[in-house]
Amino acid sequence: MSNYVTAIGLDVHARSISACAFDPMTGEVSRARFGYDPASVAEWALGFESPKAVYESGPTGFHLCRALRALGVDCAVGAVSKMHRPAADRGRKNDRRDAEWLARLLACRN
């Protein structure tokens, strides 16, 4: 398995953040939605055991990534061009589903 327990996917927009925490050991999924406030996201994420977060690269997330790292949450940037989605998922895009997809990708990365 990997060196962390909880994978957190973040779908970041200018005014909102959809978050999904996925525990690969138990399969448990937790979801949350925030305004654009890195402190509240970090507080939620640090409530999980050994969290690691990821978000799709874009102009709204770089500040969030730096802020989360400063608050003690390990955060990675995922390159959208390198992430391949199944054809069936392309027409059903929404923030909650994107956050969960990112969390599951991060969990199986190692």
pLDDT band at 20 (very low <50, low <70, confident <90, very high): very high
Look at the chain and report how many structural domains it folds into: 1
pLDDT band at 40 (very low <50, low <70, confident <90, very high): very high
Has residue 64 been placed in a domain? Answer: yes
Has residue 25 been placed in a domain? Answer: yes
Q: Rounded mean pLDDT of 32-41?
A: 94
- Per-residue confidence (pLDDT) for residue 42, from 0 to 100: 95
Residue located via tokens 């402190």: 39
The parent domain of residue 74 ranges over 6-108
Has residue 1 been placed in a domain? Answer: no
Has residue 45 been placed in a domain? Answer: yes
> With 80 as the cut, is the pLDDT of residue 97 above it?
yes
Q: What is the DSSP letter of 23?
A: -
Tokens of 65: 């990534």
Has residue 51 been placed in a domain? Answer: yes
Residue located via tokens 């507080």: 43
d(CA 95, CA 28): 19
Find the CATH number of the domain harbouring 44.
Answer: 3.30.420.110
d(CA 49, CA 4): 8
pLDDT band at 1 (very low <50, low <70, confident <90, very high): very low
